[in-house]
Chain A
């Protein structure tokens, strides 16, 4: 269902750049696509009373094959606010438990709905679904590979709270190997001009080769640093992730690295006014005493998930001519 973008003009600003399109990876979108998304998301965030129900008679399906709190609920809330109805596949109580294949499950969902939001523990699951489905697929996370709507939300949050994405210094702290939020954020930042991107990852959790190759191709420079303390006073944004326990092939390996980094209120004393972001959930890497700091942005980041995903659904599925 992926359409060649040359059909829609090079500026990427036309609605058609989004309309009916699968949302599998931030790599499939241009900076101007993001700007269009952010503009609409700002309208939804700032003028909630004027939201037009642009998706009446539409049915959005959610199919989460692994746990989710914010992504699933914010997408569902977004769909409901736009007037769509939401149906939900619960893998634990469906034929998935009987061994139904993903292609068969997707064929069923596409015949019941106008758009499918899917999360799956396997890399490439959303791509496979998009090849089977006639209705758009929105990737809510596939294994350790992509989480496009999270990266769009992260960039939107930075833009709202810092006023810009270009020219800032970023510290990305945590699991760069398995955290799809990190990979997707870096792919998203590659559309902009960050002043510096520092990666602070425990040994064994540094970027995978294929991700590094892609960033090289996109010409996003990153610098690996050993300790976040080394860059705290330089950065404008601290983006944290938890260590992705569920993706470790060897549980002993997880035990070795868990708890290897932690940000507390006292750690942040040197951090000036750097935004502290986290896609959540957190485990013990982000102390609760950070929550009351004015630059703790993660709850606002989660809140903005609704208007951002409203904008995404509206652009992909809405008919603005009505």
Chain B
């Protein structure tokens, strides 16, 4: 997790560790998870540590909360290289990679003011298909406009 021999944050007994979050995105990830710290959940953030994979990265530890598959999918929209580890009784019980889903329904919004998914947003769910994994981008099914990684982060952060 950390490249130092000493740990910056203590181990958690139960919960989720989210590693390889792009530096600076951890607060967006917390918002995506519904800010669990506001519900009394213990959250530890390690920000801007060095990483051989990302150069710099953030790490989150969320005590007592296990991410659902749906949350992992959403996580991939903000942190496409993130890895998710589920901890029970100090042991790793599951590992999931945040793979950007091929289709995202009802989460993102098209930026085209004249797209039917925007004009009829009360009766139509937005649908985006994966255009590129790196850099992440998604294409609106209805109008073909492409959302960039920055636009996706801005919407979900």
User: Is there an interface contact between B144 and A210, defined as CB atoms closer than 8 Å?
Assistant: yes
Closest 6 CB pairs of A and B: A124-B142, A123-B143, A124-B116, A122-B116, A101-B123, A210-B144
Please measure, in the bound complex, the distance between the C-alpha atom of A309 and the C-alpha atom of B57, giving whole angstroms: 58
Contact partner, A145, options B119, B120, B139, B143, Cβ 8 Å: B143
User: Is there an interface contact between B115 and A123, defined as CB atoms closer than 8 Å?
Assistant: yes
Verify if A143 is at the interface (C-beta below 8 Å from B): yes
Contact partner, A101, options B118, B122, B142, B146, Cβ 8 Å: B122
* Interface residue range, chain B: 20 to 34
- In residues 135-155 of chain A, which contact B (Cβ within 8 Å)? 142-145
Please measure, in the bound complex, the distance between the C-alpha atom of A125 and the C-alpha atom of B139, giving whole angstroms: 16
User: Is there an interface contact between A102 and B116, defined as CB atoms closer than 8 Å?
Assistant: yes
Verify if A127 is at the interface (C-beta below 8 Å from B): yes
B115: chain A residues within 8 A (beta carbon): 122-124, 143
- In residues 79-134 of chain A, which contact B (Cβ within 8 Å)? 101-104, 120-125, 127-128
Contacts A122-B115, A247-B114: A102 and B120 contacting too (C-beta < 8 A)?
yes
Contact partner, B114, options A122, A210, A213, Cβ 8 Å: A122
Whole-angstrom distance between the Cβ of B105 and the nearest chain A Cβ: 13
A101: chain B residues within 8 A (beta carbon): 120, 122-123
Verify if B154 is at the interface (C-beta below 8 Å from A): no
Chain B CB within 10 A, most for which of A120, A124, A210, A247: A124
B113 nearest in chain A by CB position: A249
B146: chain A residues within 8 A (beta carbon): 209-210, 213
Q: Interface code B102-118, partner A: CB below 8 Å = 1, 0 otherwise?
A: 00000000001111111
Chain A CB within 10 A, most for which of B115, B139, B143: B143
Please measure, in the bound complex, the distance between the C-alpha atom of A142 and the C-alpha atom of B116, giving whole angstroms: 9
Size of the A side of the interface (Cβ < 8 Å), in residues, is 23
Contacts A102-B123, A104-B123: A124 and B139 contacting too (C-beta < 8 A)?
no
B145 nearest in chain A by CB position: A210
11 A-B residue pairs with Cβ-Cβ distance under 8 Å, sorted by A, are A121-B114, A122-B119, A123-B114, A123-B115, A127-B142, A128-B116, A143-B114, A143-B115, A145-B144, A210-B146, A214-B144
Please measure, in the bound complex, the distance between the C-alpha atom of A210 and the C-alpha atom of B123, giving whole angstroms: 25
A183 nearest in chain B by CB position: B144
Verify if B124 is at the interface (C-beta below 8 Å from A): yes
Verify if B25 is at the interface (C-beta below 8 Å from A): no
User: Is there an interface contact between A103 and B123, defined as CB atoms closer than 8 Å?
Assistant: yes
A142 nearest in chain B by CB position: B116
Please measure, in the bound complex, the distance between the C-alpha atom of A184 and the C-alpha atom of B123, giving whole angstroms: 28
A209: chain B residues within 8 A (beta carbon): 146
Q: B-contacting residues of A (Cβ < 8 Å)? A: 101-104, 120-125, 127-128, 142-145, 209-211, 213-214, 247, 249
Verify if B88 is at the interface (C-beta below 8 Å from A): no
Contacts A102-B120, A144-B114, A249-B113: A123 and B139 contacting too (C-beta < 8 A)?
no
- In residues 131-157 of chain B, which contact A (Cβ within 8 Å)? 139-146
Whole-angstrom distance between the Cβ of B116 and the nearest chain A Cβ: 4
User: Is there an interface contact between A123 and B112, defined as CB atoms closer than 8 Å?
Assistant: yes
Please measure, in the bound complex, the distance between the C-alpha atom of A142 and the C-alpha atom of B120, giving whole angstroms: 14
A123 nearest in chain B by CB position: B143
Please measure, in the bound complex, the distance between the C-alpha atom of A103 and the C-alpha atom of B121, giving whole angstroms: 11
Contacts A102-B116, A143-B114: A124 and B141 contacting too (C-beta < 8 A)?
yes
Please measure, in the bound complex, the distance between the C-alpha atom of A121 and the C-alpha atom of B112, giving whole angstroms: 12
Q: Interface code B32-55, partner A: CB below 8 Å = 1, 0 otherwise?
A: 000000000000000000000000
User: Is there an interface contact between B120 and A103, defined as CB atoms closer than 8 Å?
Assistant: yes
Please measure, in the bound complex, the distance between the C-alpha atom of A214 and the C-alpha atom of B143, giving whole angstroms: 13
20 new A-B contacts, CB < 8 A, other than A122-B120, A123-B142, are A101-B122, A102-B120, A104-B123, A121-B114, A122-B115, A122-B118, A123-B115, A123-B116, A123-B143, A124-B115, A124-B116, A124-B141, A124-B143, A142-B116, A143-B116, A145-B143, A210-B139, A210-B145, A214-B144, A249-B113
A249: chain B residues within 8 A (beta carbon): 113
Please measure, in the bound complex, the distance between the C-alpha atom of A247 and the C-alpha atom of B115, giving whole angstroms: 12
User: Is there an interface contact between A124 and B117, defined as CB atoms closer than 8 Å?
Assistant: yes
Please measure, in the bound complex, the distance between the C-alpha atom of A121 and the C-alpha atom of B118, giving whole angstroms: 12
Please measure, in the bound complex, the distance between the C-alpha atom of A124 and the C-alpha atom of B140, giving whole angstroms: 9
Contacts A122-B116, A122-B119, A123-B112: A103 and B124 contacting too (C-beta < 8 A)?
yes
User: Is there an interface contact between A143 and B123, defined as CB atoms closer than 8 Å?
Assistant: no
User: Is there an interface contact between A143 and B143, defined as CB atoms closer than 8 Å?
Assistant: yes
Please measure, in the bound complex, the distance between the C-alpha atom of A103 and the C-alpha atom of B119, giving whole angstroms: 12
